[in-house]
Structure 1
Amino acid sequence: MSQTERFYKIDQLLQSNKIMSRQQLLDALQISWATLKRDLAFLKERFNAPIVYDRDAGGYRFSTPNTGPAYELPGLWFSAEETCALLTMHSLLAELEPGFLTPHVQPLLSRLEAILGRDQQSFNQVTQRIRLVRTGIRRKGSKYFSLISRALLERKRIKVLHYSREKDERLDRLLSPQRLVFYRNNWYLEAWCHARQALRRFSVDAFETVELLGQDAQDISQDDLNEQFDAGYGIYGGKDVQIAVLRFSEASSRWVADEEWHPNQVGSLDPDGTYTLRVPFSDSREIAMDILRLGHHVEVIEPAFLRNEVRAETERMSSVYANTECQ
Structure 2
Amino acid sequence: MGSVGLGRRDGSSVTMEVHVRPGDAQRTLRAEVLAGLCGERKPRELSPRWLYDERGSQLFEEITRLPEYYPTRCEREILLAHAGDMARASGADTLIELGSGSSEKTRLLLDALRETGRLMRFVPFDVSEAFLRQSAEAVASEYPELHVHAVVGDFGRHLGRLPRGGRRLVAFLGGTIGNLKPPERARFYAELAAGLSPGDGLLLGTDLLKCRKRLFAAYNDRAGVTALFNRNVLNVLNRELGADFNPEAFEHLAPFDEENEWVEMQLISTRPQTVLLRALERYVNFAEGEVLRTEVSCKFRVEQVEAELAAAGLHLVERWTDAAGDFALSLARKR
With normalisation by structure 1, the TM-score equals 0.20
The structure with higher relative contact order (CA 8 Å, sep 6+) is 2
Q: Which protein shows a greater Rg?
A: 1
TM-score by length of 2: 0.20
